[in-house]
Chains A and B, each alone.
Chain A
Amino acid sequence: GIQVEQSPPDLILQEGANSTLRCNFSDSVNNLQWFHQNPWGQLINLFYIPSGTKQNGRLSATTVATERYSLLYISSSQTTDSGVYFCAVGEGGLVFGKGTKLTVNP
Chain B
Amino acid sequence: GAVVSQHPSRVICKSGTSVKIECRSLDFQATTMFWYRQFPKQSLMLMATSNEGSKATYEQGVEKDKFLINHASLTLSTLTVTSAHPEDSSFYICSAGRAEAFFGQGTRLTVV
Contact = CB atoms under 8 A, between A and B. Distances in A.
Contact of A33 (B42, B45, B49, B101): B101
B64 interface: no
Contacts of B99: 31, 48
Interface of A: 31, 33, 35, 40-43, 45, 48, 86, 88, 92-99
Interface of B: 1, 32, 34, 38, 42-46, 49, 59, 91, 93, 95, 99-103, 105-106, 108
Contact of A86 (B34, B44, B49, B108): B44
9 contacts: A41-B91, A42-B105, A42-B106, A93-B46, A93-B49, A93-B59, A95-B46, A97-B43, A99-B43
A42 B103 contact: yes
Contacts, number: 51
B6 to A, nearest CB: 10
A86 B44 CA distance: 9
Contacts of A97: 43
